[in-house]
Structure 1
Amino acid sequence: MKLSAPIFQLKRRAKLMARNDKVPLNQALDQIARDEGFARWSLLSSRMSSGPLSQTILSRLGDGDLLLLAGRPGHGKTTLGLQLLIDAVRAGRTAFLFSLEFTEQQASKHLRSLEGDTDRIADRVRIVTSDEISADYIISHLAGSKPGTVAVIDYLQVLDQNRSKPVLSEQVQTLGDFAQRTGVVLGFISQIDRSFDPASKRLPDIRDIRLPNFVDLGLFNKACFLHEGEAQLQDVA
Protein backbone atom coordinates (compact mmCIF):
# COMPACT_ATOMS: atom_id res chain seq x y z
CA MET A 1 0.00 0.00 0.00
CA LYS A 2 1.41 3.39 -1.03
CA LEU A 3 1.24 6.09 1.62
CA SER A 4 -0.04 9.58 0.89
CA ALA A 5 3.29 10.99 2.11
CA PRO A 6 6.66 9.64 3.32
CA ILE A 7 6.48 8.19 6.82
CA PHE A 8 8.60 10.98 8.33
CA GLN A 9 6.06 13.53 7.07
CA LEU A 10 3.20 11.48 8.52
CA LYS A 11 4.98 11.51 11.90
CA ARG A 12 5.33 15.27 11.68
CA ARG A 13 1.63 15.56 10.79
CA ALA A 14 0.73 13.49 13.87
CA LYS A 15 2.87 15.68 16.14
CA LEU A 16 1.13 18.77 14.81
CA MET A 17 -2.27 17.14 15.33
CA ALA A 18 -1.37 16.18 18.90
CA ARG A 19 -0.27 19.72 19.69
CA ASN A 20 -3.22 21.47 18.03
CA ASP A 21 -5.93 19.06 19.24
CA LYS A 22 -4.31 18.52 22.65
CA VAL A 23 -4.41 14.74 22.36
CA PRO A 24 -1.71 12.17 23.22
CA LEU A 25 0.77 11.56 20.41
CA ASN A 26 -0.08 7.85 20.23
CA GLN A 27 -3.72 8.74 19.53
CA ALA A 28 -2.70 11.17 16.81
CA LEU A 29 -0.41 8.55 15.24
CA ASP A 30 -3.24 6.00 15.23
CA GLN A 31 -5.57 8.53 13.59
CA ILE A 32 -3.00 9.21 10.87
CA ALA A 33 -2.63 5.43 10.39
CA ARG A 34 -6.40 5.03 10.00
CA ASP A 35 -6.41 7.81 7.41
CA GLU A 36 -3.80 5.76 5.51
CA GLY A 37 -5.87 2.57 5.71
CA PHE A 38 -4.25 0.88 8.74
CA ALA A 39 -5.98 0.03 12.00
CA ARG A 40 -3.21 1.58 14.10
CA TRP A 41 0.23 3.17 13.76
CA SER A 42 2.16 0.06 14.77
CA LEU A 43 0.71 -1.81 11.78
CA LEU A 44 1.61 1.01 9.40
CA SER A 45 5.12 1.23 10.82
CA SER A 46 5.78 -2.52 10.66
CA ARG A 47 4.48 -2.73 7.08
CA MET A 48 6.70 0.11 5.96
CA SER A 49 9.66 -1.42 7.82
CA SER A 50 9.45 -4.78 6.09
CA GLY A 51 11.58 -3.74 3.12
CA PRO A 52 15.37 -3.64 2.74
CA LEU A 53 17.47 -2.62 5.74
CA SER A 54 18.10 0.91 4.47
CA GLN A 55 14.35 1.49 4.14
CA THR A 56 13.79 0.09 7.62
CA ILE A 57 16.37 2.48 9.04
CA LEU A 58 14.88 5.43 7.15
CA SER A 59 11.40 4.64 8.47
CA ARG A 60 12.68 4.65 12.06
CA LEU A 61 14.66 7.88 11.91
CA GLY A 62 13.10 10.96 13.46
CA ASP A 63 13.95 14.58 12.74
CA GLY A 64 17.22 15.52 14.44
CA ASP A 65 18.42 11.95 15.00
CA LEU A 66 22.12 11.06 15.00
CA LEU A 67 22.79 7.58 13.59
CA LEU A 68 25.87 5.37 13.71
CA LEU A 69 26.46 2.89 10.87
CA ALA A 70 29.24 0.70 12.20
CA GLY A 71 31.16 -2.36 11.10
CA ARG A 72 34.59 -3.74 10.32
CA PRO A 73 36.05 -3.00 6.84
CA GLY A 74 34.30 -4.87 4.05
CA HIS A 75 31.08 -5.62 5.95
CA GLY A 76 28.81 -3.15 4.16
CA LYS A 77 28.57 -0.05 6.34
CA THR A 78 29.49 2.38 3.55
CA THR A 79 27.17 0.70 1.07
CA LEU A 80 24.36 0.88 3.63
CA GLY A 81 25.02 4.58 4.17
CA LEU A 82 24.88 5.30 0.44
CA GLN A 83 21.73 3.21 0.00
CA LEU A 84 20.14 5.17 2.83
CA LEU A 85 20.75 8.38 0.86
CA ILE A 86 19.23 6.91 -2.31
CA ASP A 87 16.15 5.81 -0.37
CA ALA A 88 15.91 9.26 1.21
CA VAL A 89 15.83 10.92 -2.22
CA ARG A 90 13.30 8.38 -3.43
CA ALA A 91 11.12 9.27 -0.41
CA GLY A 92 11.19 12.94 -1.33
CA ARG A 93 13.93 14.07 1.04
CA THR A 94 17.08 16.03 0.33
CA ALA A 95 20.24 13.93 0.79
CA PHE A 96 23.90 14.83 1.25
CA LEU A 97 27.09 12.77 1.32
CA PHE A 98 30.10 14.33 3.06
CA SER A 99 33.14 12.19 2.36
CA LEU A 100 36.74 12.45 3.45
CA GLU A 101 37.44 9.13 1.71
CA PHE A 102 35.82 9.15 -1.75
CA THR A 103 36.48 11.48 -4.63
CA GLU A 104 33.32 12.94 -6.12
CA GLN A 105 33.68 10.62 -9.13
CA GLN A 106 34.10 7.54 -6.93
CA ALA A 107 31.10 8.46 -4.78
CA SER A 108 28.93 9.12 -7.82
CA LYS A 109 29.90 5.81 -9.41
CA HIS A 110 29.16 3.88 -6.20
CA LEU A 111 25.78 5.59 -5.76
CA ARG A 112 24.76 4.85 -9.35
CA SER A 113 25.66 1.18 -8.87
CA LEU A 114 23.14 1.01 -6.03
CA GLU A 115 20.16 2.90 -7.41
CA GLY A 116 18.54 -0.17 -9.00
CA ASP A 117 16.58 1.75 -11.63
CA THR A 118 17.17 3.96 -14.64
CA ASP A 119 15.85 7.33 -13.47
CA ARG A 120 19.30 8.47 -12.27
CA ILE A 121 17.94 9.14 -8.80
CA ALA A 122 21.47 8.74 -7.41
CA ASP A 123 22.46 11.92 -9.24
CA ARG A 124 20.18 13.85 -6.89
CA VAL A 125 22.34 12.98 -3.87
CA ARG A 126 24.49 16.04 -3.17
CA ILE A 127 28.11 14.94 -2.88
CA VAL A 128 30.64 17.01 -0.94
CA THR A 129 34.25 15.83 -0.92
CA SER A 130 36.92 17.97 0.71
CA ASP A 131 39.75 17.69 3.19
CA GLU A 132 38.12 20.67 4.93
CA ILE A 133 35.08 18.66 6.04
CA SER A 134 34.39 19.28 9.73
CA ALA A 135 31.37 20.14 11.86
CA ASP A 136 31.39 23.80 10.83
CA TYR A 137 31.96 22.91 7.17
CA ILE A 138 29.04 20.45 7.21
CA ILE A 139 26.75 22.95 8.95
CA SER A 140 27.59 25.63 6.39
CA HIS A 141 26.49 23.31 3.58
CA LEU A 142 23.33 22.21 5.39
CA ALA A 143 22.23 25.71 6.43
CA GLY A 144 18.63 26.26 5.40
CA SER A 145 17.91 22.54 4.90
CA LYS A 146 14.39 21.35 5.62
CA PRO A 147 13.66 19.05 8.58
CA GLY A 148 14.04 15.44 7.47
CA THR A 149 17.02 16.15 5.24
CA VAL A 150 19.45 13.22 5.52
CA ALA A 151 23.23 13.64 5.51
CA VAL A 152 25.77 10.82 5.78
CA ILE A 153 29.30 11.58 6.96
CA ASP A 154 32.10 9.31 5.78
CA TYR A 155 33.45 8.81 8.33
CA LEU A 156 33.34 9.55 12.08
CA GLN A 157 36.93 8.77 13.08
CA VAL A 158 38.57 11.07 10.51
CA LEU A 159 36.64 14.25 11.25
CA ASP A 160 39.49 15.48 13.43
CA GLN A 161 42.48 13.89 11.70
CA ASN A 162 43.58 17.38 10.68
CA ARG A 163 44.86 18.87 13.93
CA SER A 164 43.70 22.32 12.96
CA LYS A 165 40.10 21.12 13.39
CA PRO A 166 38.29 20.95 16.76
CA VAL A 167 38.54 17.68 18.67
CA LEU A 168 36.09 14.96 17.68
CA SER A 169 33.92 15.22 20.80
CA GLU A 170 33.35 18.94 20.22
CA GLN A 171 32.48 18.38 16.56
CA VAL A 172 29.91 15.68 17.32
CA GLN A 173 28.36 17.86 20.04
CA THR A 174 28.17 20.79 17.61
CA LEU A 175 26.57 18.60 14.94
CA GLY A 176 24.14 17.14 17.47
CA ASP A 177 23.04 20.61 18.56
CA PHE A 178 22.59 21.61 14.91
CA ALA A 179 20.50 18.50 14.19
CA GLN A 180 18.25 19.20 17.16
CA ARG A 181 17.70 22.81 16.07
CA THR A 182 17.00 22.06 12.43
CA GLY A 183 15.56 18.54 12.27
CA VAL A 184 18.31 17.40 9.88
CA VAL A 185 19.19 13.71 10.27
CA LEU A 186 22.92 12.92 10.45
CA GLY A 187 24.36 9.46 9.82
CA PHE A 188 27.99 8.71 10.69
CA ILE A 189 29.79 5.79 9.08
CA SER A 190 31.98 4.39 11.84
CA GLN A 191 34.81 1.94 12.35
CA ILE A 192 34.69 -0.95 14.80
CA ASP A 193 37.67 -1.58 17.05
CA ARG A 194 40.01 -4.44 16.15
CA SER A 195 39.34 -5.96 19.56
CA PHE A 196 35.85 -7.02 18.44
CA ASP A 197 35.80 -10.83 18.51
CA PRO A 198 33.01 -12.48 16.47
CA ALA A 199 33.76 -15.72 18.31
CA SER A 200 32.40 -14.19 21.51
CA LYS A 201 29.39 -12.37 20.01
CA ARG A 202 27.79 -12.41 16.59
CA LEU A 203 27.60 -8.64 16.07
CA PRO A 204 29.54 -5.67 17.44
CA ASP A 205 27.75 -3.19 19.67
CA ILE A 206 28.20 0.32 20.99
CA ARG A 207 31.11 -0.79 23.19
CA ASP A 208 33.05 -1.80 20.08
CA ILE A 209 33.06 1.59 18.36
CA ARG A 210 36.65 2.56 17.61
CA LEU A 211 37.44 5.77 19.48
CA PRO A 212 41.02 6.93 19.03
CA ASN A 213 39.73 10.17 20.56
CA PHE A 214 36.92 10.46 23.11
CA VAL A 215 33.32 10.90 21.94
CA ASP A 216 30.22 10.76 24.13
CA LEU A 217 28.34 7.98 22.34
CA GLY A 218 25.21 9.01 24.24
CA LEU A 219 24.90 11.85 21.72
CA PHE A 220 23.73 9.28 19.15
CA ASN A 221 20.07 8.21 19.06
CA LYS A 222 20.35 5.08 16.94
CA ALA A 223 23.02 2.67 15.73
CA CYS A 224 23.17 -0.10 13.16
CA PHE A 225 25.89 -2.72 13.54
CA LEU A 226 26.91 -5.00 10.67
CA HIS A 227 29.00 -8.17 10.43
CA GLU A 228 29.10 -11.12 8.02
CA GLY A 229 25.84 -10.23 6.29
CA GLU A 230 23.90 -9.69 9.53
CA ALA A 231 22.77 -6.34 10.89
CA GLN A 232 20.99 -5.00 13.92
CA LEU A 233 19.41 -1.57 14.30
CA GLN A 234 19.00 -0.39 17.89
CA ASP A 235 18.24 2.67 19.94
CA VAL A 236 21.18 4.06 21.86
CA ALA A 237 20.27 4.40 25.53
Structure 2
Amino acid sequence: MKLSAPIFQLKRRAKLMARSNSVPLYEALDQIAREEGFGKWSLLSASMSSGPLSETVLSRLDDGDMLLLAGRPGHGKTKLGLQLLIDAARDGRKALLFTLEFTEQQAWKHLKSLEGPGGNIADAVQIFTSDQISAEYIIQHMSGLESGAIAVIDYLQLLDQQRSKPVLSEQLQTLGEFAQRTGVVLGFISQIDRSFETEGKRLPDIGDVRLPNFVDLGLFSKACFLHNGEAQLQDVA
Protein backbone atom coordinates (compact mmCIF):
# COMPACT_ATOMS: atom_id res chain seq x y z
CA MET A 1 0.00 0.00 0.00
CA LYS A 2 1.39 3.38 -1.01
CA LEU A 3 1.55 5.94 1.78
CA SER A 4 0.49 9.56 1.36
CA ALA A 5 3.98 10.61 2.50
CA PRO A 6 7.28 8.92 3.48
CA ILE A 7 7.06 7.18 6.84
CA PHE A 8 9.40 9.63 8.57
CA GLN A 9 7.11 12.49 7.58
CA LEU A 10 4.09 10.63 8.94
CA LYS A 11 5.91 10.07 12.23
CA ARG A 12 6.78 13.75 12.38
CA ARG A 13 3.13 14.61 11.73
CA ALA A 14 2.12 12.34 14.61
CA LYS A 15 4.57 14.04 16.96
CA LEU A 16 3.13 17.44 16.11
CA MET A 17 -0.40 16.10 16.58
CA ALA A 18 0.49 14.64 19.98
CA ARG A 19 2.02 17.93 21.06
CA SER A 20 -0.81 20.16 19.85
CA ASN A 21 -3.64 17.88 21.08
CA SER A 22 -1.93 16.84 24.34
CA VAL A 23 -2.36 13.14 23.61
CA PRO A 24 0.17 10.30 24.00
CA LEU A 25 2.41 9.80 20.99
CA TYR A 26 1.25 6.21 20.50
CA GLU A 27 -2.35 7.42 20.10
CA ALA A 28 -1.31 9.99 17.51
CA LEU A 29 0.76 7.37 15.65
CA ASP A 30 -2.17 4.95 15.58
CA GLN A 31 -4.48 7.69 14.33
CA ILE A 32 -2.07 8.51 11.47
CA ALA A 33 -1.85 4.79 10.70
CA ARG A 34 -5.65 4.49 10.48
CA GLU A 35 -5.75 7.45 8.10
CA GLU A 36 -3.29 5.53 5.91
CA GLY A 37 -5.42 2.38 5.97
CA PHE A 38 -3.68 0.41 8.74
CA GLY A 39 -5.13 -0.70 12.06
CA LYS A 40 -2.21 0.56 14.11
CA TRP A 41 1.22 2.14 13.69
CA SER A 42 3.14 -1.10 14.18
CA LEU A 43 1.38 -2.61 11.15
CA LEU A 44 2.16 0.43 9.02
CA SER A 45 5.79 0.41 10.13
CA ALA A 46 6.21 -3.30 9.44
CA SER A 47 4.74 -2.95 5.96
CA MET A 48 7.26 -0.27 5.07
CA SER A 49 10.38 -2.06 6.31
CA SER A 50 11.48 -2.78 2.74
CA GLY A 51 11.51 0.90 1.77
CA PRO A 52 14.61 3.08 1.29
CA LEU A 53 17.07 2.63 4.16
CA SER A 54 17.36 6.37 4.83
CA GLU A 55 13.59 6.69 5.24
CA THR A 56 13.50 3.69 7.58
CA VAL A 57 16.30 5.13 9.72
CA LEU A 58 14.80 8.61 9.82
CA SER A 59 11.39 7.22 10.80
CA ARG A 60 12.95 5.50 13.83
CA LEU A 61 14.91 8.48 15.10
CA ASP A 62 13.54 10.30 18.11
CA ASP A 63 14.30 13.85 19.17
CA GLY A 64 17.54 13.90 21.15
CA ASP A 65 18.95 10.73 19.58
CA MET A 66 22.68 10.16 19.10
CA LEU A 67 23.06 7.96 16.01
CA LEU A 68 26.15 6.00 14.98
CA LEU A 69 26.52 5.24 11.24
CA ALA A 70 29.33 2.72 10.94
CA GLY A 71 30.94 0.62 8.24
CA ARG A 72 34.15 -0.14 6.41
CA PRO A 73 35.22 2.22 3.57
CA GLY A 74 33.03 1.95 0.49
CA HIS A 75 30.05 0.28 2.16
CA GLY A 76 27.64 3.23 2.19
CA LYS A 77 27.85 4.90 5.59
CA THR A 78 28.59 8.37 4.19
CA LYS A 79 25.96 8.00 1.47
CA LEU A 80 23.40 7.06 4.12
CA GLY A 81 24.34 10.05 6.28
CA LEU A 82 23.98 12.48 3.40
CA GLN A 83 20.68 10.92 2.29
CA LEU A 84 19.35 11.35 5.84
CA LEU A 85 20.06 15.07 5.55
CA ILE A 86 18.28 15.34 2.20
CA ASP A 87 15.26 13.47 3.57
CA ALA A 88 15.18 15.66 6.67
CA ALA A 89 15.40 18.84 4.58
CA ARG A 90 12.56 17.54 2.38
CA ASP A 91 10.58 17.12 5.59
CA GLY A 92 11.12 20.79 6.42
CA ARG A 93 13.65 20.14 9.16
CA LYS A 94 16.94 21.94 9.59
CA ALA A 95 19.72 19.73 8.21
CA LEU A 96 23.42 20.37 8.79
CA LEU A 97 26.60 18.62 7.70
CA PHE A 98 29.78 19.09 9.74
CA THR A 99 32.59 17.51 7.76
CA LEU A 100 36.29 17.24 8.47
CA GLU A 101 36.67 14.98 5.43
CA PHE A 102 35.11 16.80 2.43
CA THR A 103 35.67 20.24 1.00
CA GLU A 104 32.48 22.26 0.58
CA GLN A 105 32.53 21.62 -3.17
CA GLN A 106 32.90 17.87 -2.65
CA ALA A 107 30.04 17.83 -0.13
CA TRP A 108 27.72 19.72 -2.51
CA LYS A 109 28.63 17.35 -5.34
CA HIS A 110 27.75 14.28 -3.27
CA LEU A 111 24.49 15.78 -2.00
CA LYS A 112 23.41 16.80 -5.48
CA SER A 113 24.23 13.37 -6.91
CA LEU A 114 21.98 11.73 -4.31
CA GLU A 115 19.10 14.10 -4.96
CA GLY A 116 19.18 13.65 -8.71
CA PRO A 117 18.84 16.15 -11.57
CA GLY A 118 16.51 19.10 -11.26
CA GLY A 119 16.16 18.96 -7.48
CA ASN A 120 16.88 21.78 -5.09
CA ILE A 121 16.28 20.21 -1.67
CA ALA A 122 20.02 19.62 -1.19
CA ASP A 123 20.48 23.39 -1.30
CA ALA A 124 18.75 23.58 2.09
CA VAL A 125 21.47 21.48 3.76
CA GLN A 126 23.96 23.70 5.59
CA ILE A 127 27.57 22.59 5.15
CA PHE A 128 30.41 23.36 7.55
CA THR A 129 33.98 22.38 6.66
CA SER A 130 36.02 24.31 9.23
CA ASP A 131 39.04 22.64 10.82
CA GLN A 132 37.62 23.94 14.12
CA ILE A 133 34.69 21.50 14.06
CA SER A 134 34.31 20.09 17.57
CA ALA A 135 31.55 19.70 20.16
CA GLU A 136 31.77 23.39 21.00
CA TYR A 137 31.64 24.39 17.33
CA ILE A 138 28.64 22.13 16.62
CA ILE A 139 26.73 23.41 19.64
CA GLN A 140 27.47 27.00 18.67
CA HIS A 141 25.93 26.48 15.23
CA MET A 142 22.95 24.41 16.40
CA SER A 143 21.90 26.41 19.45
CA GLY A 144 18.42 27.84 19.00
CA LEU A 145 17.32 25.28 16.40
CA GLU A 146 14.00 23.53 16.89
CA SER A 147 13.89 19.97 18.20
CA GLY A 148 14.12 17.48 15.37
CA ALA A 149 16.86 19.40 13.58
CA ILE A 150 19.43 16.88 12.42
CA ALA A 151 23.18 17.11 11.93
CA VAL A 152 25.61 14.56 10.51
CA ILE A 153 29.22 14.71 11.69
CA ASP A 154 31.82 13.37 9.26
CA TYR A 155 33.44 11.70 10.95
CA LEU A 156 33.65 10.56 14.59
CA GLN A 157 37.33 9.66 14.77
CA LEU A 158 38.45 13.08 13.48
CA LEU A 159 36.75 15.17 16.15
CA ASP A 160 39.75 15.16 18.47
CA GLN A 161 42.50 14.82 15.90
CA GLN A 162 43.85 18.26 16.85
CA ARG A 163 45.45 18.20 20.29
CA SER A 164 43.91 21.58 21.09
CA LYS A 165 40.44 19.99 21.14
CA PRO A 166 38.98 18.05 24.08
CA VAL A 167 39.32 14.28 23.92
CA LEU A 168 36.61 12.44 22.01
CA SER A 169 34.93 10.99 25.10
CA GLU A 170 34.44 14.47 26.57
CA GLN A 171 33.09 15.84 23.30
CA LEU A 172 30.56 13.01 22.95
CA GLN A 173 29.41 13.51 26.53
CA THR A 174 28.91 17.23 25.86
CA LEU A 175 27.07 16.60 22.59
CA GLY A 176 24.86 13.93 24.13
CA GLU A 177 23.79 16.31 26.89
CA PHE A 178 23.13 19.02 24.31
CA ALA A 179 21.00 16.66 22.17
CA GLN A 180 18.95 15.55 25.18
CA ARG A 181 18.43 19.13 26.33
CA THR A 182 17.40 20.54 22.94
CA GLY A 183 15.90 17.59 21.07
CA VAL A 184 18.24 17.88 18.07
CA VAL A 185 19.43 14.65 16.45
CA LEU A 186 23.15 14.04 15.93
CA GLY A 187 24.46 11.38 13.55
CA PHE A 188 28.12 10.37 13.54
CA ILE A 189 29.75 8.63 10.59
CA SER A 190 32.25 6.17 12.02
CA GLN A 191 35.03 3.88 10.92
CA ILE A 192 35.01 0.16 11.62
CA ASP A 193 38.26 -1.56 12.50
CA ARG A 194 39.70 -3.53 9.59
CA SER A 195 40.04 -6.61 11.81
CA PHE A 196 36.28 -7.04 11.36
CA GLU A 197 36.84 -8.37 7.85
CA THR A 198 38.85 -11.33 9.17
CA GLU A 199 36.27 -12.40 11.76
CA GLY A 200 33.71 -13.93 9.38
CA LYS A 201 30.78 -11.87 10.63
CA ARG A 202 28.09 -10.71 8.19
CA LEU A 203 27.82 -7.25 9.74
CA PRO A 204 30.00 -5.29 12.16
CA ASP A 205 28.72 -4.43 15.62
CA ILE A 206 29.46 -1.96 18.37
CA GLY A 207 32.60 -3.86 19.35
CA ASP A 208 34.12 -3.29 15.90
CA VAL A 209 34.06 0.53 16.03
CA ARG A 210 37.58 1.87 15.59
CA LEU A 211 38.60 3.78 18.72
CA PRO A 212 42.22 4.77 19.31
CA ASN A 213 41.23 5.76 22.88
CA PHE A 214 38.40 4.68 25.17
CA VAL A 215 34.97 6.13 24.41
CA ASP A 216 31.73 5.12 26.12
CA LEU A 217 29.70 4.00 23.11
CA GLY A 218 26.69 3.79 25.40
CA LEU A 219 26.40 7.53 24.80
CA PHE A 220 24.83 6.62 21.46
CA SER A 221 21.14 5.76 21.52
CA LYS A 222 20.95 4.08 18.09
CA ALA A 223 23.45 2.56 15.66
CA CYS A 224 23.27 1.50 12.03
CA PHE A 225 25.91 -0.91 10.77
CA LEU A 226 26.48 -1.43 7.04
CA HIS A 227 28.41 -4.01 5.02
CA ASN A 228 28.10 -5.52 1.53
CA GLY A 229 24.73 -3.94 0.81
CA GLU A 230 23.19 -5.03 4.12
CA ALA A 231 22.33 -2.78 7.02
CA GLN A 232 21.08 -3.23 10.56
CA LEU A 233 19.61 -0.47 12.70
CA GLN A 234 19.52 -1.16 16.41
CA ASP A 235 19.10 0.48 19.77
CA VAL A 236 22.29 0.79 21.77
CA ALA A 237 21.78 -0.81 25.17
Equivalent position SS for 2:51: coil
Equivalenced residues, count = 234
Once the two structures are superposed, what CA deviation does each residue of 1:49-76 show, in whole Å capped at 9, x if it has no partner?
A: 4421111100110101011110111111
Deviation at 1:199, TM superposition (A): 5.0
Post-superposition shift, 1:122? 1.0
Change beyond 3 A, Cα 1:157–1:13: same
Deviates most, 179-188 or 195-204: 195-204
Q: When the two structures are superposed, what TM-score results if normalisation uses the length of structure 2? A: 0.91
Amino acid at match of 2:135: A
- In the alignment, is the contact (CA less than 8 A) between 1:49 and 1:55 conserved in 2? no
Structure 1 residues without counterparts, runs of 5 or longer = none
Percent of pairs with identical residues:
71
Misfit runs of 4+, over 6 Å: none
Cα–Cα, structure 1 residues 128 and 144, in superposed 2: closer, same or farther, change >3 Å? Answer: same
8 Å contact 2:151–2:187 — kept in the other structure? yes
Which residue is 1:9 aligned to? Answer: 12
Output aligned runs, 1:1-237, within 5 Å.
Answer: 1-3=3-5, 6-13=9-16, 15-16=18-19, 20-21=22-23, 25-197=25-197, 199-237=199-237
| CA RMSD in angstroms, aligned pairs only | 2.0
Check whether the contact 1:223–1:234 (CA below 8 A) recurs between aligned residues. yes
What amino acid maps onto 2:4 in structure 1? K
TM (normalized to structure 1)? 0.91
Q: Distance in 2 between matches of 1:96 and 1:25?
A: 26
Cα shift at 1:17: 7.1
Q: Deviations over 1:1-32 (max 9, x none)?
A: 214992342342464378x35xx653443234
DSSP-derived class of the 2:190 partner: strand
Q: State the SS of the aligned residue for 1:189.
A: strand
Work out whether residues 11 and 29 of structure 2, in 8 Å CA contact, stay in contact via their aligned partners in 1.
Answer: no
**Mean Cα deviation higher: 32-41 or 121-130:** 32-41
Quote the Cα distance in structure 2 between the aligned partners of 1:132 and 1:182. Answer: 22
For 2:187, give the aligned amino acid: G
Gaps of 5+ in 2: none
